[in-house]
A and B are shown apart, each in its own frame.
Chain A
Amino acid sequence: MHDMSTHPAQHHHTAPTSFIRKHVFSLDHKVIGKQYYGLALIAVYIGMALSWLMRLHLGWTNLAIPGLQWLSKTGAPGGVMTPEYYLQLMTMHGTIMVFFVLTTAPFAGFGNFFLPIQVGAEDMPFPRFNMMSFWITFVAFIILMTAFFVGDGPPLSGWTAYVPLSAIGAAAGPGQGLGQILWAASIATFCIGQLLGSLNFITTTLDLRTRGMTLMRMPLTVWAWFITSCMGLTAFAVLLPACILLILDHVAGTSFFIASGLVVNGALVPHSGGSTLLWQHLFWFFGHPEVYIAIVPGVGIVSHVLITNMRRPLLSSKVLIGCMATLAFLSYVVYGHHMFVSGMNPFSGLVFSFPTLIITIPATIIVLIWIGSLYGSKIRINSASLFALGFISMFVSGGVSGFFLAQPSLDIYLHGTYFVVGHFHMVMAVAALFGIFTGTYFWFGKMFGRMMNETLGKIHFWLTFVGTYAIFMPFHYLGFAGNVRRYQAFVDDYLQPLIPVHRYITVAALVTGAAQLIFLYNLIHSRFWGPIAPENPWEATSLEWITTSPPPFDNFGGKHIEVFHDPYQYGIEGSTNDYVMQNSPEQIHTERDEK
């Protein structure tokens, strides 16, 4: 029949020889993937340290944190955080985590490494753009980090940088001058890096699939990365102009966002006529697809790992793919649910609430497919599968609170409270983090040639699983008790009884954070002294497992790969093992094979 697959790229590059070309400015998608992962690793520990500082301050407002005064003399004199500095640390925590961890590791990190291999390609079609995309992202990170050390520190307007606070300049508070400009420049730079990355992902998926690899024979991870890159292409392309306009309001005296008649610190702001809501519309048009960019790769990775460990395919991979695509499509029409109380036309509340409730349907179907597939399976328990199961738990727990927030009438009360913070931390931050851990434990051997320690992995899982529930479940209680978010201290009478809850959460956060050091130790120790990884330690079927650990420069050692069926042939009657490799011509009989 008419074969819809394509040939690998006709151009190929020769193996690099110099150190710089091999490890620094590499054109190899595998090195670029590892570089992204390394960047995310550094970013996540910085972000986590920031969260510890925040939590210490929330529990004990006047606590002198030793050493903090060296980070900022004005922000933490004698180690005691000023209220503004709390907000500055909070802004950086959110920005670093959302952009440089959740967008970088599951999508750019694992995607860059495994997408070409899983479709049977030698590399991506635009390796120089790919290399540029990493280094541009790295430069964006450096720009963001310099905000800590210049002027009066990083911005305090939150990762959402709402105007007018973020647009009127230094009059708005410490960090709102140079710090905010650096923030906007960093994010704009990040957008460009991600656009180049998305370009490569999309063209690899559409054009470089090997012989026999039809679209429906691609692994679920590839579908997840492809869908994510389509979202990234359109979402980041909107954030970039928004950041440019914000920078112009700062440096060029324009008034895109700054409304008339603002009096700040007794002085009339010298801009007028701008639209405050415009920033929110532009930002959230990017912002909602962004949270799906953070989670969809995790959905793909978790599906892939669950199937491998269950030793049987999902109830329906096709429906799962359709659900991921529906999530991506709907993500553009729900963004106003972040703006229910912003003062926009109340009728739009209904217009955004309806698709927000609809979008829960594909998400629920995905979870039901997982649970239905797990039912009756004898899943192999290892660190990767534990984190995959943990992902499902987190996604559900965090997702159900979304039902409440989706309704404007309830959101009037819950908006801007810890209920929202609990919701997005569980459904996005922790779930996506679990997705990253799943991928790490599953693919570490393939990426680095040595396996991670399973015992440490399991300890890491249980401490993290229990710990993150211990941290974030109370957030929902705090939220409907009326605890406002982005407050550095709770001086109102009605919030006093909640301070012990905050202190408990702080202790939980510190303990769970310490558990992440086990992961770091495991990572570093295994990298150098772990047991040598075999080619296919998990008895998995997709194409990354037919090559060496780690793969050679051109992924398959010059072999031209041909695939004959989808990558989830597990538990097949009549096959020699309980699995059939995707490139094996062994005849199999399954009603799920897409012809």
Chain B
Amino acid sequence: MATTVHEPPKIGPVRGAKTARGNGGWNLVPADGDLRVGERGSPPPASVGVWVGMAAITMSFAAFTSALIVREGASSDWQHFSLPSILYINTVLLLISSFTLELGRRSVARVMSRSQDQAKAPPLWFYVTLALGVLFVAGQYVAWLKLKSEGLYLATNPSSSFFYVLTAAHALHVCGGLGGLVRVIRKLRRSDLRRSTLDATSYYWHFMDVLWLYLLMLLWSKM
């Protein structure tokens, strides 16, 4: 049961439009589209929190990376294989989902600058992002099936072990992002969405993109 009490979003007069903060300085939406204007210049906790979370996730994947590099050099049993081509399709899907997420954010800001009612903001682009994210995860599973059909399982070879571990870890974090998107959509429909929640979820989603591009490069160069 929720015990947080949300105040309705305040659309106040713009204070210093050029220096309006509270969105991490990205200023992707018109200043008077701010869902909530910060009273002093401090970032809301969700914005800081998501960066903290991203730092931790980065460290974890750094540990996996160093494990991969050391393991590759430890023995001569590293077997190279070509990555399933669906991975590249999944990459494109994920990149498009970031783009649609940004479209969603802008549409929310546009509606907010015209009317006061969040529920009139169509969550369409968020649904599209969600669908693309689900397709991404499904596509990763298809990639695993492809590898299995070639006889490459988790324990077959260290290279395949790392492939599964890295893609599974990333997919797990993407599922967390999907949960965040669902939360954003529900809050939007209840007119309960805060700017900081939307921002934090978006940053996390874009981070999943960037992380995947890095992992793809790593896998492509090492597998």
- Stretch of A200-208, A440-448, A453-461 lying at the B interface: A200-208
Q: Which of A199, A241, A245, A256 contacts B52 (CB 8 A)?
A: A199
Q: How far is the CB of A49 from chain B (nearest CB, A)?
A: 34
* A7-B42, A234-B59 given; A281·B52 CB < 8 A: no
Contact B67 A248 (CB under 8 A): no
Q: Is the CB of B74 within 8 A of A278?
A: yes
Judge whether A12 is part of the interface by a CB distance below 8 angstroms: yes
Which of A64-72, A269-277, A429-437, A511-519 forms part of the interface with chain B? Answer: A269-277
Beyond A27-B3, A233-B59, A248-B165, is A275–B71 a contact (Cβ under 8 Å)?
yes
Min CB–CB distance A106 → chain B (angstroms): 21
Whether A267 sits at the interface, judged by CB under 8 Å, is: no
Which of B105-113, B154-162, B205-213 is found at the contact surface with chain A?
A: B154-162
The verdict on A203 contacting B52 (CB below 8 Å), with A238-B59, A248-B161 known, is yes
Number of interface residues of A (CB under 8 A): 52
Residues of B contacting A207 with CB < 8 Å?
A: 42-45, 48
Chain B proximity of A99: nearest CB distance (Å): 18
- CB pair A281–B70 under 8 Å, yes or no, is yes
Residue of chain B at shortest CB distance from A229: B52
Taking each of B42, B53, B67, which has the highest tally of chain A beta carbons within 10 Å of its own beta carbon?
Answer: B67
Alpha-carbon separation in the docked complex, A39 to B67 (Å)? 33
B35 to chain A minimum Cβ distance, whole angstroms, is 12
Is B56 touching A195 in the complex (CB atoms < 8 A)?
yes
**CB closest chain-A residue, reference B154:** A252
Contact A13 B49 (CB under 8 A): no
Known contacts being A6-B40, A245-B67, A272-B75, is A256 close to B158, with CB within 8 Å?
yes
Give bound CA distance, A198 to B169, whole Å: 21
What residue in chain B is nearest A124 (Cβ atoms)?
A: B45
Asked if A253 and B39 make an inter-chain contact with CB atoms under 8 angstroms apart, the answer reads: no
A316 CB to closest chain B CB, in angstroms? 28
Q: Which of B50-74 contact A (CB under 8 A)?
A: 52-53, 55-57, 59-64, 66-67, 70-71, 74
Asked if A3 CB lies within 8 Å of chain B CBs, one says yes
Which of chain A's residues have a CB closer than 8 A to the CB of B75?
259-260, 272-275
User: If A273-B74, A274-B71 touch, does A254 touch B161 (CB 8 Å cutoff)?
Assistant: yes
Kindly state the separation between the CA atoms of A376 and B48 in the bound complex, as whole angstroms.
Answer: 44
Name B168's closest neighbour in chain A (CB-CB). A244
Bound-complex Cα distance A3 to B77 (A): 60
| Cross-interface CB contact of A254 among B45, B61, B155, cutoff 8 Å | B155
**Contact status A208-B3, CB under 8 Å:** no
Docked complex Cα distance between A9 and B194 (Å): 13
Residue pair B57, A237 in contact (C-beta under 8 Å): yes
Asked if A255 is at the interface of the complex by the 8 Å CB criterion, the answer is: yes
* A54 beta carbon closer than 8 Å to chain B: no
Q: Are A10 and B7 in contact (CB under 8 A)?
A: yes
Residues of A within 8 A of B154 (CB): 248, 252-254
Q: Which residues of B contact A125 (CB under 8 A)?
A: 45-46, 49
B90-131 interface bits toward A, Cβ cutoff 8 Å, 1 = contact, 0 = none: 000000000000000000000000000000000000000000
Q: Within residues 126 to 158 of chain A, which ones have a CB less than 8 A from any CB in chain B?
A: 126-127
A168 at the binding interface (Cβ < 8 Å) = no
Q: Of A11, A198, A242, A274, which contacts B5 at CB under 8 A?
A: A11
Per the bound structure, the CA–CA distance linking A154 and B39 in Å amounts to: 55
Residues of chain A contacted by B66 (CB below 8 angstroms): 281-282
* CB–CB A282/B40 < 8 A: no
Contacts of B82 in A (CB 8 A): none
Most buried by B among A21, A233, A238, A260: A238
Chain A residues with CB below 8 A from B1, complex form: 21
Do A241 and B48 have beta carbons less than 8 Å apart?
A: no
The count of chain B contact residues (Cβ–Cβ below 8 Å) is 41
A237's contact among B48, B63, B155, by CB below 8 Å, is which? Answer: B63
Given known pairs A125-B45, A202-B48, A206-B48, the reply for A237 and B40 (CB within 8 Å) is: no
Instruction: Indicate if A345 sits at the interface (CB-CB under 8 A).
Output: no
Residues in A whose Cβ lies below 8 Å from that of B4: 11-13, 127
Name the B residues within 8 Å of A282 (CB-CB).
Answer: 63, 66-67
Q: How far is the CB of B186 from chain A (nearest CB, A)?
A: 16
**CB <8 Å contact, A275 and B45:** no
Given contacts A207-B42, A238-B60, A248-B165, contact A256 B67 (CB under 8 A): yes
- B71, A241: Cβ atoms under 8 Å? no
- Which residues of the other chain, A, contact B18 by a CB distance below 8 angstroms? none
Using Cβ atoms and an 8 Å threshold, which residues of chain B touch A275?
A: 70-71, 74-75
Within 8 A of B (CB), among A2-27: 3, 5-7, 9-14, 16, 21, 27
Evaluate contact between B158 and A254: CB separation under 8 angstroms: yes
Contact A14 B3, CB 8 Å, known A199-B53, A207-B45: yes
CB–CB A126/B49 < 8 A? yes
Partner of A252, one of B40, B49, B60, B155: B155
CB under 8 Å from chain A, chain B span 1-35: 1, 3-7
Q: Are B165 and A13 in contact (CB under 8 A)?
A: no
Report which residue of B6, B40, B62, B63 has the largest number of chain A beta carbons within 10 angstroms of its beta carbon: B63
Question: Does chain B have a CB within 8 A of A320?
Answer: no
> Which of A126, A198, A236, A237 has the most chain B CB within a 10 Å cutoff?
A237
**A254 proximity list for chain B (CB < 8 A):** 154-155, 158, 161
Q: Does A240 contact B (CB under 8 A)?
A: yes
For B64, what are the chain A residues with a Cβ–Cβ distance below 8 Å?
241
B63 touches A238 (CB 8 A): yes
Whole-angstrom CA separation of A125 from B49 in the bound complex: 9
A237 to B43, CA, bound (A): 25
Contact of B56 among A9, A237, A255 (CB under 8 A): A237
Task: Return chain B residues, CB-CB under 8 Å to A248.
Answer: 154, 161, 165
Given contacts A199-B49, A244-B165, A245-B67, contact A11 B158 (CB under 8 A): no
Smallest CB-CB separation from A12: which chain B residue? B5
Q: How far in angstroms is the closest Cβ of chain A from B10?
A: 10
CA distance A4 to B189 in the complex (A): 35
Q: How far is the CA of A6 from the CA of B46 in the complex (A)?
A: 14
Residues of B within 8 A of A256 (CB): 67, 71, 158, 161
**Chain A positions within 8 Å of B57 at CB level:** 237
**Cα–Cα distance between A503 and B77 once the two chains are bound (Å):** 51
Quick one: which of A223-244 are within 8 Å of B by CB?
A: 233-234, 236-238, 240-242, 244
A253 contacts across to B, CB distance below 8 A:
154-155
Q: A7-B42, A278-B71 are in contact. List 7 more A-B contacts (CB 8 A).
A: A125-B46, A233-B59, A242-B63, A244-B165, A248-B154, A255-B158, A259-B74
Instruction: Report which A residues bind B (CB closer than 8 A).
Output: 3, 5-7, 9-14, 16, 21, 27, 125-127, 195, 198-199, 202-204, 206-208, 233-234, 236-238, 240-242, 244-245, 248, 252-256, 259-260, 272-275, 277-278, 281-282, 285
A-B contact pairs, 16 of them (CB 8 A): A5-B40, A12-B5, A13-B3, A233-B52, A234-B59, A237-B57, A237-B63, A240-B60, A241-B169, A254-B155, A255-B158, A259-B75, A273-B75, A275-B74, A278-B67, A282-B66
> 7 closest A-B pairs (Cβ-Cβ)?
A125-B45, A273-B75, A253-B155, A6-B42, A275-B74, A237-B59, A13-B3
